């Protein structure tokens, strides 16, 4: 069964450092997303991406964040100058069409120390 | 106002019980509706999409009432393996909006 894969599963970084979280969406999917979930809180939308550009972003997704689809398979989230409050589980998701369900990767747990 | 609201629970029910979860959403323009389940420290996994006509998948039944902007999930004959957090998810535009989730524990 096709699945969304994310690497690494856990990333520890020092405050102020840059991190890149990587995702391989399901191959025939056209819509890609990043979400985050702070421990004990709800899943929060960060950004959606379609046709090689951001289609929507939340107020969380400020200038510190960027996304890229560097090739035909990878979808990355870059966080510049990480802060302690960026510690969370980051989920990548993809969907085939705009109205269909999204499938989530297993997440990257980011810990900023 | 929150986009999606759910009763956080927790719901603690005995094995074999029937349990119902409810959810409301605020944007009448929302297009698609889903229930996901999330186990502790894992990713959300699709349980089922929700349609206006109602749909059933084994022990699970989902209903959507667009007029009331209300979504429900019914679980019959609860199993221990049903213990998880159930997330009501609504698609509006290019975003999936998540409720805070309802925690279910099925007790032997």
- Please state, in angstroms and rounded to a whole number, the distance separating the CA atoms of residues B85 and A44: 16
Residue B56, helix vs strand vs coil: strand
- Please state, in angstroms and rounded to a whole number, the distance separating the CA atoms of residues B70 and B99: 13
Contact B99 A100 (CB under 8 A): no
- For residue A100, what pLDDT is reported? 85
Q: What is the pLDDT of residues A23-82, one digit of tens each?
A: 999 999 999 999 999 998 999 999 999 999 999 999 999 999 999 998 878 999 999 999
Q: Taking Cα atoms as reference points, which of A100, A42, A59 lies closest to residue B88? A: A42
- For residue A73, what pLDDT is reported? 87
Q: Taking Cα atoms as reference points, which of B23, B15, B1, B4 lies closest to residue B95? A: B4
pLDDT higher than threshold 90 for residue A88? yes
Query: B24 near B3, Cβ under 8 Å?
Result: no
Name the band, by pLDDT with cuts 50, 70 and 90, for residue B37. very high
Name the band, by pLDDT with cuts 50, 70 and 90, for residue B22. very high
Answer whether B42 touches A (CB < 8 Å): yes
> With contacts defined as CB-CB under 8 Å, which chain A residues touch B5?
none
- Of B34, B49, B87, which has the smallest distance from its Cβ to A43's Cβ? B87
- For residue A98, what pLDDT is reported? 78
State the average pLDDT over residues B28-44: 94
Mean pLDDT score of chain A: 94
- Please state, in angstroms and rounded to a whole number, the distance separating the CA atoms of residues B91 and B49: 11
Query: B60 near B12, Cβ under 8 Å?
Result: no
- Please state, in angstroms and rounded to a whole number, the distance separating the CA atoms of residues A47 and B61: 31
Count Cα atoms within 13 angstroms, Cβ side, for A22: 8
- For residue B8, what pLDDT is reported? 87
Answer whether B32 touches A (CB < 8 Å): yes
Q: Which residue has the higher pLDDT, B7 or B84?
A: B84
Query: A36 near A89, Cβ under 8 Å?
Result: yes
pLDDT higher than threshold 90 for residue B95? no
Residue in B36, B95, B98, B100 to test binding to A, most A beta-carbons within 10 Å: B95
Query: B87 near B35, Cβ under 8 Å?
Result: yes
């Amino acid at each position: 069964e096709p699945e969304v894969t994310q690497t690494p599963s856990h990333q520890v970084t020092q405050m102020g450092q840059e991190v890149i979280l990587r995702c391989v969406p399901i191959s025939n999917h056209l819509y890609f997303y990043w979400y985050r979930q702070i421990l004990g809180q709800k899943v929060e939308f960060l950004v959606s991406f379609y046709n090689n550009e951001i289609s929507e972003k939340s107020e969380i997704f400020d200038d510190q964040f960027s996304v890229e689809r560097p090739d035909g398979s990878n979808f990355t989230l870059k966080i510049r100058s990480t802060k302690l409050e960026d510690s969370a589980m980051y989920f990548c998701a993809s969907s085939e069409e705009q109205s269909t369900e999204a499938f989530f990767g297993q997440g990257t747990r980011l810990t900023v120390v | 106002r929150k986009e999606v609201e759910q009763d956080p629970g927790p719901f603690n029910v005995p094995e074999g019980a029937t349990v119902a979860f409810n959810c409301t959403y605020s944007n009448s323009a929302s297009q698609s509706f889903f229930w996901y389940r999330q186990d502790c420290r894992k990713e959300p996994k699709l349980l089922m999409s929700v349609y206006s006509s109602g749909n059933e998948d084994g022990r699970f039944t989902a209903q959507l009432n667009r007029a009331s902007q209300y979504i429900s999930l019914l679980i019959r004959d609860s199993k221990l393996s049903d213990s998880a957090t159930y997330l009501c998810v609504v698609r509006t535009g290019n975003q999936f909006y998540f409720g805070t989730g309802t925690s279910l524990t099925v007790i032997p």
